[in-house]
Structure 1
Amino acid sequence: MKSKLILVSTLVTVALTGTVLAEDASGTVTGAAGGAITGAIVGGPVGAAVGGVAGAIAGTAIDPPPARVVTYVQEQPVQNSVVVKQPIVVGKPVPQEVVLMPITEDPRYSYTIVNEQRVIVDPQTRTVVQVIQ
Structure 2
Amino acid sequence: MKTRVFGIAAISLALASGYAFAQSSTVNGAAGGAVTGAIVGGPVGAAVGGVAGAVVGTAIDPPPQRVVTYVQEQPIPDDTVVVRQKVVVGRTLPSSVVLTPVPHNRRYAYAVVNHERVIVEPRSRRVVEILE
**If the length of structure 1 is used for normalisation, what is the TM-score?**
0.71
Equivalent residues in 2 for 1:42-57, closer than 5 Å: 42-57=40-55
SS in 1 for 2:86: coil
- Partner in structure 1 of residue 70 of structure 2: 71
Larger Cα Rg: Structure 1 or Structure 2? 1
**Distance in 2 between residues matched to 1:17 and 1:118, nearest whole Å:** 32
- Partner in structure 2 of residue 29 of structure 1: 27
Residue type of the partner of 2:11?
Answer: T
Residue type of the partner of 1:55?
Answer: G
| RMSD of aligned residue pairs (Cα, Å) | 3.0
The answer on whether the counterparts of 2:102 and 2:110 sit within 8 Å (CA) in structure 1 is yes
How many aligned residue pairs are there?
Answer: 131
The answer on whether the counterparts of 1:65 and 1:130 sit within 8 Å (CA) in structure 2 is no
The answer on whether the counterparts of 1:33 and 1:55 sit within 8 Å (CA) in structure 2 is yes
- Partner in structure 2 of residue 91 of structure 1: 90
The answer on whether the counterparts of 2:3 and 2:43 sit within 8 Å (CA) in structure 1 is yes
Please say which of residues 96-105 and 51-60 is displaced more in the overlay.
51-60
Give structure 2 stretches of 5+ with no counterpart: none
**Distance in 1 between residues matched to 2:2 and 2:116, nearest whole Å:** 53
**If the length of structure 2 is used for normalisation, what is the TM-score?**
0.71
The answer on whether the counterparts of 1:9 and 1:48 sit within 8 Å (CA) in structure 2 is yes
State the Cα deviation string for residues 69-122 of structure 1 (Å, max 9, x = none).
543564368375333222323333211232222122221211223334443222
**Distance in 1 between residues matched to 2:72 and 2:11, nearest whole Å:** 42
SS in 2 for 1:24: coil
- Partner in structure 1 of residue 10 of structure 2: 12
Q: Alpha carbons of 1:79 and 1:130: their partners in 2 closer, same or farther (altered >3 Å)?
A: farther
**Distance in 2 between residues matched to 1:39 and 1:115, nearest whole Å:** 33
- Partner in structure 1 of residue 124 of structure 2: 125
Give structure 1 stretches of 5+ with no counterpart: none
Q: Alpha carbons of 1:46 and 1:96: their partners in 2 closer, same or farther (altered >3 Å)?
A: same
Give the % identical residues.
46
**Distance in 2 between residues matched to 1:91 and 1:5, nearest whole Å:** 34
